[in-house]
Amino acid sequence: MDAEKLRVAREKLTRVFRYLEALNQHRNPAKRQLREQPWSLWMRDLPDHSSIQKGAAKISSPKAKGGNSTGMEDASPSYVLKVRRPRLTRPPEPPQEISGWIEDGWDDPSNTVAVEETVDESENNPEQRIVKFADDPARTAALERWKLLRDNWVRNEKPARAAMKIFETFYALYGRIDREAERVELILGDGILSWRRTEGGIFHPILLQRLQLQFDATVPEFTLSEADHPVELYSALFQSMPDVDGRAIGRCREELDEGGFHPLINGSTSGFLKRLVVQ
C-alpha cells in the first residue's frame, strides 16, 4: 500500500472510531455526579462496631532485580471491608411499678424515654381520680435506676443497629448484583473531582478500583475484596470536554500505571491526584 492509500485508510478508520466513540458517549454518558450512581456509601459513614472491619490496599510484594521476588510477604489484609451480621439485644424491661407509665418506643435505642405525667385511674372507679407520676417517690427512683440500665444498653446497641443496617444493605446489593451482573458492579472510588462547568457540574471520584462481593452464609459475613483488575482513571469523564488536553490525561494514565497508586493509599496517591488536578 502506497503512502496516499495508507493516509486515506487511516483517516477512514479515525472517522469510524470517532463516530463509535460519540455514539457510545450518547448512549452511555459518563456519570458526572455521584448521586447519579445507583448506590453509594462513604467509608467515613461506617459505624464503629466490631462486626465491621476495614482492610487495606492489596500491594504486590517488592521485586528484586531480574524479576525475582525478595521473599517479603505482603502482611496487609486481603480484603477492603468485612461486614458480619451483628448480634442485637433486647433492652432491660422496665420495673412493673413504672411499666404502665412509660410511653411506646422505649425499646428503640434512638428514642429517649418518655413517661406519662398523669394517669386517669377512674375507669373502674365511680370517682374521677387523676394520679401524677411524681406523686410517688418510689416510682421516680425506679425510673432513674432503670434509665441507667437502659442508657448502658443504648451505648452498645446503637452502633450494633447501625451495623445491622449496613449488613442489610449489602444483603440487598448481593442479590441485585447476582440478578444484574451484566449491568452493575461495585467500585471503590477516591479523589472527588468537584468542578463547576457550564454544561453541568462534576462531583465524582476519578480513581476507581473494581471490587467483588462475597457472602459466607455460615458466619454470616460479607467480604469486599479487590477484583482482578488494576486501578483505573475515570478518563471517560473528560472525553466530552474539548478544553481538557487528552494528552495530559494520557500522561496521567501512564503515571497511574507506573506509580502503583491506590484509593486506600493516602500519601503517594494524594500527590498523584494533586498533579492530575493541575494538569
Query: Is residue 204 within 8 Å of 187, Cβ to Cβ?
Result: no
**DSSP one-letter string for 161-185:** HHHHHHHHHHHHHHHHHHH-TTT--
pLDDT at 265 over 90: no
pLDDT tens string 197-239: 998 899 999 999 999 999 999 999 999 999 999 999 998 888 8
What residues are paired with 165 via a beta bridge? none
Cα–Cα distance measured from residue 269 to residue 279, given in angstroms and rounded to the nearest whole number? 16
CA distances from 116 to 98, 101, 104, 241 (A): 10, 5, 10, 63
Q: Measured between alpha carbons, how far is residue 207 from residues 55, 261, 270 in Å? A: 18, 9, 11
Which stretch of DSSP H or E encloses residue 274?
Answer: helix 267-278
- The grid coordinates listed for 200 are 453541568
Query: Could you count the other beta carbons within 10 Å of the beta carbon of residue 165?
Result: 11
Could you give the CA distance from residue 275 to residue 269 in angstroms, rounded to a whole number?
10
pLDDT recorded at residue 189: 96
Q: Could you report the per-residue pLDDT of 53-106, keeping only the tens digit for each?
A: 998 877 654 444 444 444 444 555 689 999 999 999 999 999 999 998 999 999
pTM for the whole structure: 0.78
